[in-house]
Amino acid sequence: MIASDLHKEYPWARLHSLHYPVRLDALGEVLTEIRAAHRQTDHSDPKPDAGRLIGHSADTTIVRRLIEQVAPSLATVLITGESGTGKEVVARQIHEKSGRKGPFVAVNCGAIPENLLESELFGHTRGAFTGAVSARAGRFEQAKGGTFFLDEIGDMPTVMQVKLLRVLEERVIERVGSAESIPVDVRLIAATHRDLPKRIEAGRFREDLYYRLSVFPIEISPLRDRSADIAPLVDEFIRRLCAEESVSIQIAGDAMDVLQQYSWPGNVRELANLIERLVVVKPNGNVRRRDLPWPIVEREEAQSAKPRILSSKLDAVSGGVHVSLPSNGLDLKQYLAKIEQDMIHQALVESDGVVQRAAELLGVGRTTLVEKIRRYELNTAKKKAH
């Protein structure tokens, strides 16, 4: 392999060809090539099944249906949810079902320094700034014909928010150092774990950009609200690790009970990391409750005690009022549905019809609440009941 070919395939090899003392422009050119080579892996095809949405819970079923609805369109999607819930998985599924032939390109807005973000997104011309020894296409151009995923959009600096708004409105970009408008054919999906309405109130996020992004909002519930997804996720993570490392484990019933009761503050990412750890410490073994890390067992025990404490407090407040079973019995499903409907109605009244606020009062995700409002055909008009 000649030197030029070596440098193309392994650009970091050029570090050895630098003459000392090193000139800044020469070093900048080499680092740019290395970063470009590394970036090529950012939008490579995911491993088989790595982008599947796993789970059978009601919330996951709703998200899966929303993906099917929005994927064929070009509508901009805003995915919200806590860190680790699988927002990029949802974005990848939208891309895969969209039929778009271009690549899936992902950028984490919170992981790139503010002074480099514009160049990273839009590219730059030669000499646009110190170290820009050659022109470079940005991520928007790299996503041509495909999907551009902006993760952690809530952390984007306000100056960049203005530039992104123009891209959404006009579908053109300008490289740093150039006044030439370059058309971009991309499907944009954004995601954040931030509460964007609160950031708008604080002046940290543009309201006009928020409405441009949330053409089709999808909210992913935290894993603690999707206990029915835990067992399928565990099975999937074990299957993947078995395929990659030829090792396997079995989760015993008492251990699975703990996993399903645990609150999972790190959500799906925390569960995946736990299974990977168990494969290391118990390769080809049977995982029992005693084999789980003590923080999970300890928190699960504390969580299990909460309902009893809460029940005692409610009894004290309500004077011991309780519901009695009628002598002729009842339709439990219909009875619980009526209670749920009444609670949703009360929450909507208290929140003046603001669905997001009503969802917070009820402790459910906005997407879940919207689905229930549709099911019960409730009125969300912003007025108080008299």
Q: Lowest-confidence range among 150-164, 318-332, 339-353?
A: 318-332
Co-location of 106 and 15 in the same domain: no
Residue 361 belongs to domain spanning: 332-376
Bigger pLDDT: 70 vs 241 = 70
What is the average pLDDT score of the chain? 80
Q: Cα 9 to chain center, whole Å?
A: 33
**Please, what sign has the CA dihedral across residues 279, 281, 284, 288?**
negative
Report yes or no on 311 lying in a domain: yes
Q: State the pLDDT confidence band at 380, using cuts at 50, 70 and 90.
A: low
Co-location of 146 and 264 in the same domain: no
Q: How many angstroms separate the Cα of 153 from the Cα of each of 195, 198, 284, 380?
A: 11, 14, 41, 29
CATH number of the structural domain spanning residue 246 = 1.10.8.60
Bigger pLDDT: 33 vs 307 = 33
Report yes or no on 242 lying in a domain: yes
Co-location of 217 and 228 in the same domain: no
Q: What does the pLDDT look like over 85-124, one tens digit per residue?
A: 999 999 999 999 999 999 999 999 988 888 888 888 988 7
| Number of domains comprising the chain | 4
Report yes or no on 320 lying in a domain: no
Report yes or no on 50 lying in a domain: no
Task: Name the helix (H) or strand (E) containing 124.
Answer: strand 123-124
Co-location of 230 and 217 in the same domain: no
CATH number of the structural domain spanning residue 87 = 3.40.50.300
Q: How far apart are CA 192 and CA 286, in angstroms?
A: 37
Question: Scanning the structure block, which residue is given the tokens 């011309």?
Answer: 125
Q: What is the largest CA-CA distance in the chain?
A: 93
Residue 352, token pair as written in the block: 């003046």
Co-location of 191 and 216 in the same domain: yes
Asked if 294 contacts 274 with a C-beta cutoff of 8 angstroms, the reply is no
Q: State the pLDDT confidence band at 304, using cuts at 50, 70 and 90.
A: low
Q: Residue 104: beta bridge partners?
A: 147
pLDDT over 90 (residue 268): yes
Burial zone of 7 (CB within 10 Å; 0-12 exposed, 13-18 middle, 19+ buried): middle
- pLDDT given for residue 294 in this prediction: 79
Q: What does the pLDDT look like over 32-52, one tens digit per residue?
A: 555 544 444 344 444 434 567
Q: Lowest-confidence range among 43-47, 139-143, 217-221, 378-382?
A: 43-47
Bigger pLDDT: 307 vs 75 = 75
Co-location of 253 and 174 in the same domain: no
Report yes or no on 35 lying in a domain: yes
Co-location of 284 and 344 in the same domain: no
Report yes or no on 71 lying in a domain: yes
Co-location of 190 and 302 in the same domain: no
Q: State the pLDDT confidence band at 359, using cuts at 50, 70 and 90.
A: confident
Co-location of 144 and 259 in the same domain: no
Report yes or no on 283 lying in a domain: yes
Co-location of 244 and 196 in the same domain: no
Instruction: Please state the rounded mean pLDDT for residues 149-172.
Output: 93
Burial zone of 216 (CB within 10 Å; 0-12 exposed, 13-18 middle, 19+ buried): middle
Task: Name the helix (H) or strand (E) containing 287.
Answer: strand 286-287
- pLDDT given for residue 27 in this prediction: 59
Bigger pLDDT: 236 vs 382 = 236
Co-location of 204 and 123 in the same domain: yes
The DSSP output letter for 40 is T
pTM of the predicted model, to two decimals? 0.67
pLDDT over 90 (residue 246): no
Q: Cα 8 to chain center, whole Å?
A: 35
Co-location of 206 and 269 in the same domain: no
